[in-house]
């Protein structure tokens, strides 16, 4: 049973970073997780505000029906970006079907927005 998936994609999102002389004041990618947040909320999930993980990316804590999920978006280049998704519900026997359903929703959200392209890495449900 897998707890995490790694999705790779190309991104046409505008660079929303903010810099000063010392470096990023706001790391890029908040606009990407905002899109994911809106899409998941429309599908009945409860989603946290974007969590700033600095150089690691932007994260979201997600839940529905007492099941918890997590995702992180890491932007590196227009042709190298990552979306990590995890099933975080604490359980001796994690519910793979619930995670598969979450991933299916995520895949649909990415597929509906043309700024995500060359998406790969979603597992084939058993």
Partner 1 sequence: MRRQQRKAERLARDAEAAAHEAYGNAIRAGQDLKLESPGDVVRHGAQILQDAETRTRKAIARSTRDAKALANEALARAGQSPVLRSAAGDAAKVVGNVAGVLRGGAHTVEGLADAALFAQRLTDPLDLVRSGPAEWAPVQLVRGAANLERRGADYVKKGISDPQSVVTDARSVAGQWRRDLDPSATPPAPTFKGELQRNFEIAQNQGELAFDVGSLLVGGPGAKAVTGLERLSNVGNVEKYLAQGFSHKGAEHLATLYPASNMGSHFIPRRTRLPDFLGGGPLPKSFSDGVFNVLKPEGMSRGDLYELHYKVDPQFYGTKVIRGEGWSGKRLGLERHGPLGRLWHGSPPPLKARAAGLGASAGTAIYLSDDQEARP
> Beta strands of 2-64 (E only): which ranges?
4-11, 18-20, 23-26, 46-47, 51-52, 58-64
Residue 26 near partner 1 by CB under 8 A: no
Please pick, from the candidates 41, 46, 49, 80, the single residue that binds partner 1 as defined by CB under 8 A: 80
Residue 9 near partner 1 by CB under 8 A: no
In the complex with partner 1, which residue's Cβ is closer, 26 or 42?
26
d(CA 86, CA 10): 20
Q: Phi and psi for 80 in degrees, rounded to 5? A: -145, 100
The DSSP secondary-structure symbol of 92 reads S
Residue 70 CB, nearest distance to partner 1 (Å)? Answer: 5
* Residue 44 tokens, joined: 């009945």
* Residue 68 tokens, joined: 């918890």
Cα 19 from chain centroid (whole Å): 23
Residue 75 near partner 1 by CB under 8 A: yes
Residue 102 near partner 1 by CB under 8 A: no
Please pick, from the candidates 37, 39, 47, 59, the single residue that binds partner 1 as defined by CB under 8 A: 59
Contact residues for partner 1, defined by CB under 8 A = 1-6, 15, 17, 19, 22-24, 27-28, 53-57, 59, 61, 66, 68, 70, 72, 74-77, 80, 82, 84, 86, 88, 90, 120-124
């Amino acid at each position: 049973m897998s707890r995490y998936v790694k999705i790779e994609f190309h991104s046409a999102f505008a660079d929303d970073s903010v810099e000063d002389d010392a470096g990023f004041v706001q790391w890029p990618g908040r606009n990407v997780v905002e899109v994911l947040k809106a899409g998941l909320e429309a599908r009945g999930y409860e989603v946290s505000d974007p969590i700033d993980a600095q150089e690691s990316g932007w994260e979201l804590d997600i839940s529905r029906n007492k099941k918890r999920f997590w995702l992180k978006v890491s932007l590196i280049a227009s042709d190298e970006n990552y979306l990590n998704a995890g099933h975080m519900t604490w359980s001796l026997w994690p519910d793979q079907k619930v995670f598969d359903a979450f991933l299916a929703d995520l895949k649909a959200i990415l597929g509906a927005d043309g700024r995500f392209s060359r998406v790969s890495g979603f597992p084939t449900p058993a």
